Structures are given as C-alpha cells and as structure tokens.
Structure 1
Amino acid sequence: MSAEDLQCFVEKITEAVKILDVPITSSGGPSAARSHESTSLEDLTDYLEDASHQSSICQRNSWRPLQITEPMLDLIVQKHGIGPSFSELPSCFYTRNLELEEVFGVPFTTSTQGSCHEVLYTLKYPEFKMSDGKWVLRQSGLYHRYNPTTSQSLYVLLNPMPRSQMQERVTAHLRDHAQATLTDPFWLHRLLLSTHLPAWRHYIAAQEKTFLPKANSTFATFIDEPLRLGYDTLSTLVGLQNRFLQVPVFMEHTSELLDELKEWLVDLSGPNPSRENVHLGTELRNHKRHCQAYARSAEYLQRRAQSVAQLLSDTLSFRDQVEAKIQNGSMIQLNKSAVFITALTLLYLPSSFVATQSLVGTSMVWIYVVASVVLTSITMMFYYWLLKRDGALFKSLAPRVRVTADWVQTPFASMTRRLTSRGNAGVELKELPI
C-alpha cells in the first residue's frame, strides 16, 4: 500500500519541515551548519535551489499524518532525484485509530541511481511519554542517498513527533561536528541506533517491574482464602504477555537491519576500510548482541507471564467452583428447612384449628399459650438436632424414583463391572453377595 492510498499527508502544515545543511566552501571544506524551516511549497521551492544535506519531517504524534503536503514531498523527491522506492517510507506514517501494523517495519531496502546508492528503512523503538507517564512504541524512518564519487549524502528523516530526541541530537551533531558529517556518511545511522536501541532495556525493565508483584501475589494465593487478585489482574497479565511477545519480533527486524547495514558498509569500504568504518562495524556488532540479549529477556518473561496467567486463570476457576459448591450447599440446606417446616405445618394445623375453636374466649386459654410455647421449643430443639445429624428424616421425606423390575433388589441383583486385561479385554460381570 503506497502513501497515495493512505492518509499520510496534511492539507495545511502545523509543524514546519526542517532542512539542515552543511554547505561546501570554495576551498572544498565545510562551512557552519545552517537550518531552515519551510511551511509552504513556495518557500521550499526557493530554498531547495541549493542541495540539501538533511531534511526532517515529523508527525504531530505517532497516529497522525506527516506534517508535509504531498506537493511539497514530491518537490523534495524530484529536486534531489530520489528513486521510486522512497514512497514506501512515508506510507508507514499515516492516520490511525487502532494499533495497526504494530510490528511491521520497512526492511533495509537498497537501490542504485547512477553512481548514487540509496538505502531506506524504518526503526521501531519504545519511548517514555512524560505527559502520560507510560511507555509507548514509536517508529522513525530514514532515507539515505550516498554518492561515493563526491562523498556527498542526502538524508530524509521521518520523526514520530515534533522536537523528538533524535531531531535534537541531529541538530547538535551538525552544529558541533560539521566536518565529521562529510567524512563519515554513516553518522546519521549511528546516531539513530545509539539514540533508540538502549531504550529497549528500560522498556523491558518497566514491564517486568509491573509484572513481578502480580506474579508473586499469584503464587501466594490459596483457593480457600479471600483472593487478592481477580479477573482485572488476569487481563493485565495477558496484556504484559503480549508486550513481551512483541519484543523478539522487533529485535529480529533490528538484527536483520544491523546485518544489512554492516554488509552495505563492507561494500562501500572496499578491501581497505577506514578506521571510522572499522569502528562502525564494531558498533553494529555490539548493537546486535544487545538486541539478542533483549530478545532473550523478553522471551523468558513472556513464558513466565504465560504460566502465571494460566495459574491465575485456574485458581479463579477453582475459586468459582468452590463458591458454587458453597451456594449449592446453602440451597440444599434451605430446601431441607422448607421440607421440615412444611411437614410441621401439616402436623400442627389440625390441632391448632381445634384448639382455637374450643379455647378462645374462655379462662383456659393460658393452657393453649403454655402448650404452644413448650411445643414450639421442643420442635426447634428437635429441628436443630436433626440438622446436626444431616437429617435422616429429610432424606426419608425426599421423593423416590421408581425403578424397573429388572433392578429389584435380589441376592443376585447387586453387581459391579470391571475391565479385564485378558482375552479381548471384554467386560466381566461379577456377582457380589448382599
């Protein structure tokens, strides 16, 4: 899906497109870095009369389109002769309402335009959002065209937000190390990796800090005691499990990117690489080792979170069964009480009717009152005694199920069936004495 098919651009710019240059003097050396911000197509057209060194385009946030109009981006592409493969890069920065393509990243893509070499890719990384106090996943895109004949480079950097950490470091680097940017065409790649890759360790540690208390509480939970955890905790554990599961995917993409960068570095360096290129090769290998360490840590935590979530799910299920059993026991007890009260009502109703007809309005009414109190007390004591012994009377009052004549109790009617291992493992009927 290309950038034209998605909402990747805005109609009116809010955040300016930043262009950073290191112009070459008449003597062939670099002059001081200069910057320019463009908010319109006309202004950008006037400024691009000189070759740009680095262009920075941003989103207002990670779920919004790029802060550039489509004609302005087309002008940058045409002015610098950028190849058609570049369109894949802005297609990853579009308006979103959901976490679409969360683990997708543009792979390391190379092409050749005459004597110029082009590479582009996107890099996903975590970043702590100070306004919300939580970690979010972001992406940056980088396009690099390098001419080994003139040692000139053109960069297009796509940032997920204005004044990003990467953009600030790029501005400082061009201001303080303008000469190094001409002798080291890989400086922006190095800066991008060193800025964002170390954040993975802090991101994993932050998720682990949330996970460990819940994991320890889950293992210390007993079914027959009040639970300190519930289904909200289970939902949190599943969310953490998904976050841990994403990290190895990101690390695999980044490791492939590092391998491709190293291979491209070797191709450009030739048989006699410079000291800077050798040093960069070492940096890339170290970055890859760190990516492998991050992936191992995340895989371990993902498996542990999965086991803890399963344990909590089983515990909650067993707890629900215990609660259901308790409620079932209470209902049985109420049913027993209802049966007993019904039986007492049927027992006392006739005598109560007769007593009221013969004693009401006479001086002998106290006999009825005393007898009622004594009889009620005896009844309650008897009922309590029956409950203590699980009420044999209640069982006798329960409805009976009629059985067929084939199962009438006879000396030979009580049988058990057991499976035997002899012969064809058939079923043997064994007669038991009554």
Structure 2
Amino acid sequence: MGEESTEGMNDPSGERVWQIWPRDCAREDRLYTAVDGKHDSNFLSDIARDRLFCDTAKNLVTANVYTSAGAGWGRVSTSGEEFEDVQGKRSCIIRSPDDLENHLDALLLDTPAQTISYFIEPQYSWGRLQISEEVARRLFSSLPVHQQFISIVSAFGEKISPVEQSYLTYFDRIQILNPFRTFRSTDSAIFTQTCGYDLGYLYKYVDLHGRELPKDPFVIRQTGVYHKYDPQAKRSVWIFIQPSESLKERLDALFSRYKDNPVDLALQIEIHFLVLTHAAKNWRPYIKYLEDKFDKITEKGFYSNLDLEADSPGSKINFKDVREIHFFMDKLRTILQLIQMDTQIAKKVQQLLRRLRNRWVQETALNILTPRLEDVCDRFEQHLYDLSGHESRINMLIMRANDISRLVQQIIEYRTGQFSQATNSKLNGLVSNAVGQGESIHILARKGAKDTKMMKLFTIFTVIFLPGTFIASIFGTNFFAFDTDSNRLIVASNIWIYFLISCAITCSLTAGWIVYRRVKRRSRHSLEGANGKIADGAPESKV
C-alpha cells in the first residue's frame, strides 16, 4: 500500500481521518523528522510487498478489551465478530478496515479505563502476518504506536533467505507530556504528573514442535511485544506478534484476574515479567536434552576402540563424528547468543522499571505501589540469575565439546598413524618378497645362461656330425652297394625315386609353410585395421 492511497482516505464529510504510520510519527517525536518518517514508510511498503503482510481478504487480528467489571459499554456492537466473553472483557476479530473502524469507535465510546491486547499471528511459523498493510498502518497510527516498532515488525514474515535474523531488538521511551514545549525563564515550578511510556522488544525462545522431523524436538521461535501505557488517557495497549498459545492463555488469565483495575501501574510491569519468564521456561529442559545428547558424543571420545582390528563398528569413530561435534558446537553457540539476548532484554526492562519508579515516586498517590515495584525488581533479579545459570551451562557444554573434539581428532590421528604403520609394514613385506623373487629370477637367469651354453655346444656337435649322419643314412639304403671284388660303388638305376619323393615332400612342406605365413599375416593386418577404425570413431564394417 503506497502513501498516496492512504492520504486519499481523508474525507471532509467528518469521517475518520487516517494518518500514515510511521511517517506521521514525526508529529509526536521531537527528534523524528519527516525525512526519517518517509524513509521508514517506504521501507515498510517494500517489505510488506515482498514478505511481510497478507492480502486484505486474509486479515485475522484478535483484539481483547479489558475494562472495570462494573462498567458498561458505550455502544452495542452490531458486528458478528465481536462478543463479550465475561463481564469486563470483550473480544473481537478484525477482518477488514470496516471492522477496525468499528472497533476504534467503540473504544472512544467506552468511558472506563481500558487495557487492550492485539494478537497478530502468521498462518504458519515463517508465513506472512495475517494483517494487510492498510489495516496495519491504520491500527498503528490510531493507537498511536511508536515508530521504532517497525524494527520489530520487519523481523517477521516469509523466510526468503537461508540466514535467519537473530539481532537484538529493544526500545523504550518515557513519554513527555508536552514534547515540543521549551523552557522559559518565567517557569517557576516543575510540572509533575504520572508519565507513561512506550516499550517494545523482540525475544526468541525454544518450544516443542511436535513433529517427527527434525530429530531435535525443540525449535527456535520468536515473539514481538509492544506496550504503550498512557495514564492520562487511562489506557494500556499491548501488541503481540506471533505469541504462543500458552502465553495467550496466561495473559488472558492475568488480565481477567485484575479486571477491576486493568490499567494498574505495577500490573503493567508485572506482565512484562510474566512474558519474559514464560519465554525462558523451556531453556532448562532444552539444555537437559542437549546435555543428554552430548553424553552420547562423549562416549565415542572416551570409549572408542583404538585397535584397528576391533570387530565392533559402533565403537569406532571417523571424520563424520568430528563434523557432528562441530555442528553440535555451532548449535550451542546459537543457543548461547539467544540466552544472552534474553538476558539483555530482561536487564533493560528492569532498568526501565527503576527509571519509572524514580519518576513515579514523586507522586504521593503512587507511594502505595512502591512495595509492588520493589517486588517486581526482586523477581527480575531471580530471573536474571536463572538466565545466567543457563548461560553457564551452555558455556560449559561448549568447553567440553572443544575438549572432546580435540580428543576425537587425536584418536583419528592415532588411528591414521596406526594405519600408516600397518601399510608401511605391508609394503616392507612386499619389498622383501620382491627382493627374494629377484634373487630367484637371478638364479634362474644364471641357469638359463648355462643351458644356453650347453645348447650351443649341442648345436656345434650337431652341425659337425649331422652331415656325416645324413651321408651314412643315404649310403645305408639299397640304392648304393659296394662290390668287394672290384672295389667299386654300385648305384641303383632307380635312385631317381629317392630324389623325386624327397623333392616333393620338401616342396610340399615349404609351400604349406609359405601359405600359412601369408594367411597369418593377412588376418593380422585386417585385425589391426579394424582396431584403428574403432579407435578413430569410425563404425566397424560388416563382413
């Protein structure tokens, strides 16, 4: 919703004139200029469009009005969304700008002191708030809400980035009855009356999510709180953004309990104490859960098997365990930061209480509240002590996790050394075996050399005696004979048969060998050609 459309709602016919929040807050604050208001208004429009507010048709704001039990209402509401729960309490659901205007008109007609609480919730944890930009600006400007409340509202809405905002948000301002009045020399006395205040903060807490996943049963949530106390108007306004159901029940019970005086000064501070202590109620069980989980991690560090040959896989650790420990430590640091933020908020509220007490003590009618204010201060001291105990437990867990992380890393290094030693031993064994095999090969080589020499000797003898043996075998056939009478060699007339058969066999063997060699060479060449084509990416030809 832009500023132009908001200004267009001004009607000279006497209807309500809406201001632009937070731009027009410059009229109430001496140090908040129109430039600041325009910048914040544009910023609100940007985040409203991107992630913060819902459409006009999805408005769902719950408003509870608490007044004195004996007081009547100034007008009878005709809205079906408005009803009176018990005497002194009225609830309504704001679904449209018309519902908001009817609600504000009813507040103007109600004469008794009022405590009003508004609950603005998202549809789901990280969804848009169920209030439109138009209704939000109108509601905040009509109360009016302090301009610094935009720092709290902007922390809600859709989660559009993987990084969650975890900054500390707090502001307070003690109201000045006439903020634009300057000191004049004619002023002879200090004008003292009961002063009001604006207070807002954003706190984070842990709560059970009730789902199967993730395995961690707790989840981090956040709630925004704004409180405006105006003693002159006898009105106390509360705005809660994304409160838990249990907190709403406790607030309703407390407001209903003190309905005879809903704007009691001490009660307003006591409600802040209730809100902050309720936010811290799950720190103790959550830290107990973290300690139990950490005990399982320490078992791996203290009782893990150092023997590489151990059969139990559950007793061994690896780099996955180191990563798990660091993830656990990161979660602890996040929780530590949240507890420290809650501690700072509690201290700031306590300081505001003391500042208000110093101002209220000047009013003689408020002296009766001093014991209750002192009691709230003492309760805050106890709350701060509990938070410091939670912080100490988290710090101790971080220190222990650091020690376990170093121990696990040392165990992994020891295991690595053992593995390296075992590997070196195996390599040394392989080298020894290789040396032995080399000696055996050397012996075999020497024997082979001796055998080669013997073969050469046998070859020489064969070359020497083979021709003689061949000649002797020829002469041992029937083709040759010796005539002893004439001492002559007689050759048979059919000796040609010997040469014919010998030549035929020799030629056949030679021809067969040549053919075999050619076929072998041709098949080898064809195989090499096919492999070359496959290597080049060409398809293999079919034969």
Tell me the SS of whatever aligns to 1:50.
helix
Find the counterpart in structure 2 of residue 173 from structure 1: 254
Q: Map Cα deviations across residues 244-289 of structure 1 (whole Å, 9 max, x no partner).
A: 3234433333233222222322333422334432322221111111
Q: Map Cα deviations across residues 169-219 of structure 1 (whole Å, 9 max, x no partner).
A: 223434454335332222431321231212111111111110012113312
Q: Whole-Å Cα distance in 2 between the matches of residues 26 and 180 of structure 1?
A: 11
Find the counterpart in structure 2 of residue 124 from structure 1: 204
Find the counterpart in structure 2 of residue 405 from structure 1: none
Any residues of structure 2 matched to 1:33-432 within 5 Å, and which? 33-51=89-107, 53-97=116-160, 100-110=163-173, 112=175, 114=177, 116-132=196-212, 134-159=217-242, 164-179=245-260, 181-183=262-264, 184-225=267-308, 226=310, 227-269=315-357, 270-271=360-361, 272=367, 273-348=369-444
Deviation of the 1:101 alpha carbon: 4.6
Q: 1:48 to 1:333 in 2, by over 3 A?
A: farther
Alignment check: 8 A CA contact 1:181 1:187 kept:
no
Q: Whole-Å Cα distance in 2 between the matches of residues 223 and 15 of structure 1?
A: 63
Q: Whole-Å Cα distance in 2 between the matches of residues 57 and 101 of structure 1?
A: 20
Alignment check: 8 A CA contact 2:201 2:224 kept:
yes
Deviation of the 1:113 alpha carbon: 6.5
What is the one-letter code of the residue matched to 1:155? W
Q: Whole-Å Cα distance in 2 between the matches of residues 99 and 276 of structure 1?
A: 45
Q: 1:83 to 1:17 in 2, by over 3 A?
A: same
Q: 1:338 to 1:3 in 2, by over 3 A?
A: farther
When Rg is computed on C-alpha atoms for both structures, the one with the higher figure is 2
What is the one-letter code of the residue matched to 1:64? G
Tell me the SS of whatever aligns to 1:81.
coil
CA RMSD in angstroms comes to 3.1
Alignment check: 8 A CA contact 1:108 1:120 kept:
yes
Tell me the SS of whatever aligns to 1:48.
helix
Q: Map Cα deviations across residues 64-108 of structure 1 (whole Å, 9 max, x no partner).
A: 332222112111111212221121110111322556355412024
Q: 1:98 to 1:136 in 2, by over 3 A?
A: farther
Q: Whole-Å Cα distance in 1 between the matches of residues 317 and 171 of structure 2?
A: 45
Count matched residues: 355
Alignment check: 8 A CA contact 1:55 1:155 kept:
yes
Tell me the SS of whatever aligns to 2:218.
strand
Q: Map Cα deviations across residues 134-176 of structure 1 (whole Å, 9 max, x no partner).
A: 111111111000012344200100116xx63222322343445
* Alignment TM-score, normalising by the size of structure 1: 0.72
What is the one-letter code of the residue matched to 1:37? I
Find the counterpart in structure 2 of residue 11 from structure 1: 55
Tell me the SS of whatever aligns to 2:304.
coil
Q: Whole-Å Cα distance in 1 between the matches of residues 352 and 335 of structure 2?
A: 26
Q: Whole-Å Cα distance in 2 between the matches of residues 312 and 260 of structure 1?
A: 42
Deviation of the 1:312 alpha carbon: 0.8
Q: Whole-Å Cα distance in 2 between the matches of residues 231 and 254 of structure 1?
A: 35
Q: Whole-Å Cα distance in 1 between the matches of residues 413 and 58 of structure 2?
A: 53
Tell me the SS of whatever aligns to 1:118.
strand
Q: Whole-Å Cα distance in 2 between the matches of residues 182 and 313 of structure 1?
A: 60
What is the one-letter code of the residue matched to 1:267? R
Alignment check: 8 A CA contact 1:110 1:120 kept:
no
Deviation of the 1:304 alpha carbon: 0.9
Q: Whole-Å Cα distance in 2 between the matches of residues 166 and 151 of structure 1?
A: 25
Q: 1:326 to 1:246 in 2, by over 3 A?
A: same
Structure 2 gap segments, 5+ residues each = 1-39, 74-85, 108-114, 178-194, 362-366, 456-543
Deviation of the 1:31 alpha carbon: 4.2
Alignment check: 8 A CA contact 1:53 1:155 kept:
yes
What is the one-letter code of the residue matched to 1:279? D
Q: Whole-Å Cα distance in 1 between the matches of residues 146 and 155 of structure 2?
A: 17
Tell me the SS of whatever aligns to 2:349.
helix
Q: Whole-Å Cα distance in 2 between the matches of residues 12 and 289 of structure 1?
A: 45
Q: 1:21 to 1:329 in 2, by over 3 A?
A: same
Find the counterpart in structure 1 of residue 182 from structure 2: none
What is the one-letter code of the residue matched to 2:140? V
What is the one-letter code of the residue matched to 1:45? E
Q: Whole-Å Cα distance in 2 between the matches of residues 219 and 144 of structure 1?
A: 52
Q: 1:128 to 1:118 in 2, by over 3 A?
A: same
Tell me the SS of whatever aligns to 1:100.
coil
Alignment check: 8 A CA contact 1:13 1:68 kept:
no
What is the one-letter code of the residue matched to 2:106? D
Deviation of the 1:315 alpha carbon: 1.4
Find the counterpart in structure 2 of residue 377 from structure 1: none
* Alignment TM-score, normalising by the size of structure 2: 0.59
What is the one-letter code of the residue matched to 2:105? E
Q: 1:55 to 1:331 in 2, by over 3 A?
A: same
Deviation of the 1:11 alpha carbon: 2.8
Structure 1 gap segments, 5+ residues each = 359-434
